[in-house]
Structure 1
Amino acid sequence: MAVVTMRQLLESGVHFGHQTRRWNPKMKRFIMTERNGIYIIDLRQTLDYIEKAFEFVRNTVSEGGSILFVGTKKQAQEAIAEQATRVGQPYVNHRWLGGMLTNFQTVYKRLQRMKELEALGDLSGTAAGYTKKETLQLSREKIKLTRTLGGLRDMQKLPAAIWVVDTKKEHIAVDEARKLGIPVIAVLDTNCDPDEVDFPIPGNDDAIRSAELLTRVVAAAVADGLIARSGRRRGGDEKPEAGVATDEPLTEWERELLEEPKKADEQQPAAEQATAQPTAEPTTEQQPAAEQPAAEQPAVVSGQ
């Protein structure tokens, strides 16, 4: 069963790239065509790369690794937090602090500090043993730490891989991961550098629906890995909810792109039948010819 369908990618606008004047020539191999000054990404390749990324994430999580979800731009913040939380993975959806990976020991200490402040309970009033001014300072510190590090609350060690929406905006996270040898899975828009990513997924990193769809697919891979890790089998009726419903109709060229695989499937059986038919006809014609001589043979009279 496919992880995600061509229609779901089209409805979510995954195929829309940047304007032709804003592109990275290294992305040329992922571009299908250009429409109205905008590059159109080849979704056939996107489907193939999604399958590879899905398998990698699933295997990584099944072996005990974790995936860090990273997306601080507005279009991705909600999807990153929602999907990472759904599968129990760490995430960063606000500002990326330099050293979150390369200086994780310090970050881990700040996480412990955040938990200490949370253990104090409600800091809106005067906490036991603290003045009103100190309580206010502690409250502000708690809010700041929760906003920047809240998604990393349960991260005890470096992640096995990171999922990134918009590698240009999250270039610091990508650089830190590369320095530490941590694989990077990311959406690659037409202005990105594919050489920075280990598992690229060509697609639109600016649309909310696109970011949500692809992040949901990665979360589904994590869920599969967690099930495999726990030894339970996935139910036959379960599948990742990869699509995002929309009432907006597809354009004519988008429908043609969607119908091409169906036409290819319909033409293949017809071609095979046409090839097989000539070989079947001689067999039918040869049947009477083989029986005719047998009928004209003289009977053998016994006793002569």
Structure 2
Amino acid sequence: MARTTYQDLLDAGVHFGHLTRKWDPKMSQYIFMERNGIHIIDLNKTLTKVEEAAAAIKQIVKSGRKVLFVATKKQAKDIVAEQAKNVNMPFVTERWLGGMLTNFATVRKSIKKMSNIDKMTKDGTYDVLSKKEKLMIQRERIKLETLLGGISDLNRLPAALFLIDVKKEHIAVTEALKLNIPTFAMVDTNSDPSNIDFPIPANDDATKSISLITNIIIEAIKEGLDERKRDKEDEAEKEAAASKAKIDSGAEQAPAAEEVSGKRERKVAAEAQTEGQSEE
């Protein structure tokens, strides 16, 4: 079953590209035509590419790994943050800090600092500080939460990135390339799709378009999570059945051992009786 239809893409305005004078020639394979000075994206290719991206992301999530969502442009940040939270995936929607991937160890230190501040408020350490110190800590906590709140549970590098507008998020793309992390992205007619592993040609400026494509990816992630959960349950059932079979097998062997032991005792008694009769 298809994850979306041609009509859905059309209704969301996914086909509207940028002005022809702002285009990137590398997007020519995804452009259907030009109308009133605007490039029109080939939605048949969008359908194919979004299916490929969704299938690949589903397998990544099914294997138990994380996908990092990156969308710092105004039209996308709220949509992406909300959708990513629904599937418990990390996200960056305020500002991409240089080195967020390539210098991940330092980023983790900042996240740890944020958790240490939270501990201070719980164990009473925060209460004994002066008013000025409390204010400074509060400000730092708000700043860290704004920049790193979306990746606070990310303990290791993500398995993939999903980006809105690769031109705006070029630093994230560059870092992912250096670390060989697969990238999935909405790519408009003014962007270069050559550095993206799974480009989805689509309008990355309209909220309806962003919402539709992001939702397709989120649904694929949900499918991956559900399948992973089912696989774990099946594995647990198989282990329980194997354990039960082992116990049952042991219970069957026990009477057999007792029977052998009884036969031996009867044989010894018979031999003793025979010896007694011989002596007489």
TM range (shorter): 0.7 to 0.9
Aligned residue for 1:220? 219
The residue matched to 1:120 in structure 2 has which SS?
Answer: helix
CA distance in 2, matches of 1:104, 1:206: 30
SS at match of 1:114: helix
Q: What residue number does 1:96 align with? A: 96
Q: Do structure 1's residue 140 and structure 2's residue 139 form an aligned pair?
A: yes
1:84-163 matches, cutoff 5 A: 84-121=84-121, 127-163=126-162
Q: Aligned letter for 1:167?
A: V
TM score, norm. by length of structure 2: 0.80
Q: How many residues align?
A: 230
User: Which letter does structure 2 place at the counterpart of 1:118?
Assistant: D
CA distance in 2, matches of 1:146, 1:121: 15
Tell me the residue number matched to 1:185.
184
Residues 57-79 of structure 1, C-alpha deviation per residue, up to 9 Å, x if partnerless? 00011011110000000010011
- Asked whether the equivalents of residues 165 and 204 of structure 2 are also in contact (C-alpha less than 8 Å), the reply is yes
CA distance in 2, matches of 1:70, 1:185: 10
Q: How does 1:18-33 map to 2 (within 5 A)?
A: 18-33=18-33
The separation in 1 between residues aligned to 2:119 and 2:210, in whole angstroms, is 35
SS across alignment from 2:158: coil
Aligned residue for 2:126, secondary structure, equals coil
- Please give the alpha-carbon distance, in whole angstroms, between the structure 2 residues aligned to 1:172 and 1:39: 26
Task: Give secondary structure in 1 for the equivalent of 2:98.
Answer: coil
User: Equivalent residues in 2 for 1:1-304 (5 A)?
Assistant: 1-121=1-121, 127-231=126-230
Cα-to-partner distance string for 1:189-239 (whole Å, 9 max, x where unaligned) = 001111110001000011111111111111111111111111169xxxxxx
* RMSD of equivalent CA atoms: 1.4
Determine the C-alpha separation between the residues in 2 that align with 1:213 and 1:118. Answer: 36
Distance 1:26 1:127 in 2: 55
Amino acid at match of 1:180: L
Partner SS for 1:195: coil
- Contact 2:17/2:39, CA 8 A, preserved across alignment: yes
Q: Distance in 2 between matches of 1:11 and 1:144?
A: 39
Whichever of the two has the greater Rg, that structure is: 2
Structure 1 distance, partners of 2:118, 2:58, is 33
Partners of 2:121 and 2:214 in 1: CA distance: 33
Secondary structure, aligned partner of 2:194:
helix
Q: Matches of 1:114 and 1:8 in 2, distance apart?
A: 42
Aligned equivalents of 1:194, 1:185: Cα separation in 2: 10
2:54 partner amino acid: F
Between the aligned partners of 2:121 and 2:223, the Cα distance in structure 1 is 36
In structure 1, C-alpha distance between the alignment counterparts of 2:140 and 2:170, rounded to whole Å? 27
SS of the counterpart of 1:200?
A: strand
Letter in 2 for 1:137: M
Deviation at 1:116, TM superposition (A): 1.6
**Structure 1 consecutive aligned stretches of length 4 or more whose deviation exceeds 6 Å:** none
> Unpaired segments of 5 or more residues in structure 2?
233-280
How much does 1:118 deviate? Answer: 2.4
| Deviations 1:233-291 (CA, angstroms, capped at 9, x unpaired) | 9xxxxxxxxxxxxxxxxxxxxxxxxxxxxxxxxxxxxxxxxxxxxxxxxxxxxxxxxxx
Residue type of the alignment partner of 1:29: Q
**Structure 1 unmatched runs, 5+:** 234-304
Residues in 2 aligned to 1:117 and 1:57: alpha-carbon distance in whole angstroms = 35
Instruction: Specify the code of the residue in structure 2 equivalent to 1:79.
Output: I
Residues 121 and 127 in structure 2, CA contact (< 8 A), matched pair in contact too? no
Letter in 1 for 2:215: R
Q: Which stretch of the first structure deviates more once superposed, 83-92 or 108-117?
A: 108-117
Secondary structure of the residue that 1:83 maps to in structure 2? helix
1:53 Cα deviation from its structure 2 partner: 0.3
Distance between the aligned counterparts of 1:120 and 1:8, measured in 2?
Answer: 50
Counterpart Cα distance in 1 of 2:104 and 2:215: 27
Please, what TM-score do these two structures have when normalized by structure 1? Answer: 0.74
